[in-house]
Structure 1
């Protein structure tokens, strides 16, 4: 049926039918997205006042503890970073629908609008979304079988071990997360295996480019992706970047003043990864200078040519 989308069971729904069927669920998920972002924002707000230096340690960092996932956890076995959750993902206009769709697939009926493809430029949070979906499913049911794998690794495993042997590792997952579809282009066997996995498991895929524009992608795989849902992730606006910077600082165990966070949000506008680089540099700069940094010092540091080179590396 032209203009419809194929769903598990072979039914073809029009876009209007699909919207009607899931509008209530998606509306609720969007409210959750806003609530989650507010919780993360509030957590940073209540982490304790920063001193005159503009920076203070909180939580694990203040106690000298590492903020890492527990070794041997279900998340680690699934290839997941347990710190990448929907609670630590700040929703905004540029990513809210992608977040909603990933959350819905992790919580909703098995295979709902699978495969889900999330695409966008590098460093905008696609990996975080995939990891968050896996962690969400495991948090609801630790016995579910979730697997996260990069497209590059999946292609390498098929090339090294053969499709049949590699298939056994990923077959019959409750949720399969493939990060980097562009790295599978030109690898015919790996793409063929991925098509087979899509028939047996709900799948979320990330790509740096819209699947239809990828060269070296099997037309059958492209058609299979077209039958699912493809959503874009864009760069957050200034207000969202400010909230993201605040959450990143909180998660790292530090509280920066609003003036310093404003400097990061204004100068790091190409990717979220660039913001993470900027924040790490600001914190290190403060440590080198006795734990003190203010707006003027942050502005001076962020405009240095040396940091401009770091930004280029962080945004890659």
Structure 2
């Protein structure tokens, strides 16, 4: 096997050009799936391979698309042998394997989970209600992984963690509303799930529920269509503790926001606890009603920032204990010192080093880590990631990243897409063709024109119209960019 090369995914083994497999051979892929199913059994195959991966053959290696790092790590650890063996039996070649994160797989997997959850609630409303009444707890349809005792605490999140612990000790005693905000991968979901788990253990008599903004919206829409709105309201408004993740998902959904406002007012009036999380500060979430924003900022609003060096070391140390190969302290120190990033990317980097060592048949050393993470490590100040910018811009305009990637050309989407392209070009080292591909396979000329248009608008002091449930507001482009850059942790700089 040739030397492996890192490629920004979980890991990719080097391509041996002497062993080329026909990439268009869907028959071979189907046979590989059949062989894997025979080895694993139908249930494990369906859960982990059929529903959780996308397998393809290309240029002498087998690509296994996975929705996230956790799934990729699990499949590589438990089913790599079955996958490799199936590919060998079908193709006659000992193929190299690449585990690649594919965001579209995560979206489809999440949709199946939500559809399954909605279907269960629809088919078993009496059973769900009985379970809630019998236990006095919210019925969590999916297990929650986050726990407060596994949360790494440091200066960047100490206030948020202390507030979370306060909620657990005495819900609604100090503040009825806790609003956590910060970039992706900084621990907001971990804290919300940790609060829910701890309350269910410490206060079993309390009715506590954790849902995402998307789940709340889906359940509300289903209740309207099924004419079960009163049941929906009773389910949420009788809670003692409500935790809603990704509350920014409600942006630009006027009816859902109105329903949530009434839910919020009812829970707040009865002295119950509400905890919410968002990628942005309440006042920077676009297309939210002023009534909701005012209620959000009236509570305790806490920001989570990127972990410090000491926190990164501890995060990596804890994650390393879960991996198959031992990781020396000097390797942990090296990764922590060279990657100033969020928890998810730190864990992804550690997994990349592990995979590199596995396919190279070498021990984990600093030298190996340096080679494995060559494309991740830079001696210049860390650049913002395109995904961080895209998420912040989408939330600001009341949209989702999917909207920005679409071919829709409404004024709202076109303005948001242009702002995202401009900021990505300004704050990353991506070229215009790369930005175009990232933003939904747009032509590079689209990026060039968008940046040119925004520079012209900046120079003339032009404005952009923002529409929200509370009305229409015109803001200068300069003010919008400054707010977004402040949120992203970048001081506004002279525009070029």
TM-score normalized by the length of structure 2: 0.45
- Counterpart residue number, 1:103: 165
CA positional deviation for 1:138: 1.3
Q: Say which of 204, 207, 214 aligns to 1:152.
A: 214
- Counterpart residue number, 1:184: 250
**Larger Rg belongs to:** 2
- Counterpart residue number, 2:344: 273
1:173 matches 2:239? yes
> Aligned partners of 1:247 and 1:235: how far apart in 2?
17
- Counterpart residue number, 1:139: 201
> Aligned partners of 2:148 and 2:367: how far apart in 1?
34
Q: Say which of 309, 318, 323 aligns to 1:247.
A: 318
* Deviation sequence 1:62-121 (CA, Å, 0-9, x none): xx99xxxxxx9x999425655411111111101000111111112214353121100011
Compared CA separation, residues 108 and 270, structure 1 to 2 (3 A): same
Compared CA separation, residues 164 and 253, structure 1 to 2 (3 A): farther
Runs of 4+ in 1 over 4 A off after TM superposition: 74-77, 79-82, 251-255, 311-316
Is the 8 Å Cα contact of residues 274 and 314 (structure 1) preserved in structure 2?
Answer: no
SS in 2 for 1:110: coil
Is the 8 Å Cα contact of residues 79 and 149 (structure 1) preserved in structure 2?
Answer: no
Please say which of residues 207-216 and 196-205 is displaced more in the overlay.
196-205
* Deviation sequence 1:41-70 (CA, Å, 0-9, x none): xxxxxxxxxxxxxxxxxxxx9xx99xxxxx
Q: Alpha carbon RMSD of aligned pairs, Å?
A: 3.0
Is the 8 Å Cα contact of residues 84 and 128 (structure 1) preserved in structure 2?
Answer: yes
Compared CA separation, residues 145 and 192, structure 1 to 2 (3 A): same
Q: Say which of 86, 106, 124 aligns to 2:186.
A: 124
TM-score normalized by the length of structure 1: 0.68
- Counterpart residue number, 1:215: 286
1:273-292 equivalences under 5 Å are: 273-290=344-361, 292=363
Q: Say which of 147, 150, 156 aligns to 1:94.
A: 156
> Aligned partners of 1:291 and 1:168: how far apart in 2?
58
CA positional deviation for 1:194: 2.4
SS in 2 for 1:116: strand
Is the 8 Å Cα contact of residues 213 and 249 (structure 2) preserved in structure 1?
Answer: yes
- Counterpart residue number, 2:259: 193
> Aligned partners of 1:261 and 1:313: how far apart in 2?
26
> Aligned partners of 2:359 and 2:170: how far apart in 1?
48
SS in 1 for 2:286: coil
Is the 8 Å Cα contact of residues 117 and 206 (structure 1) preserved in structure 2?
Answer: yes
Q: Say which of 209, 230, 233 aligns to 2:304.
A: 233
Compared CA separation, residues 106 and 252, structure 1 to 2 (3 A): farther
> Aligned partners of 1:151 and 1:83: how far apart in 2?
18
SS in 2 for 1:149: strand
For structure 1, the 5+ residue unaligned runs are 1-60, 66-71
> Aligned partners of 1:216 and 1:314: how far apart in 2?
21
> Aligned partners of 1:252 and 1:164: how far apart in 2?
48
> Aligned partners of 1:147 and 1:109: how far apart in 2?
13
1:115 matches 2:186? no
SS in 1 for 2:149: coil
> Aligned partners of 1:99 and 1:134: how far apart in 2?
13
Higher relative contact order (CA 8 A, sep 6+): 1
Is the 8 Å Cα contact of residues 81 and 131 (structure 1) preserved in structure 2?
Answer: no
1:301 matches 2:379? no
1:202 matches 2:264? no
Is the 8 Å Cα contact of residues 79 and 147 (structure 1) preserved in structure 2?
Answer: no
Q: Say which of 255, 258, 262 aligns to 2:333.
A: 262
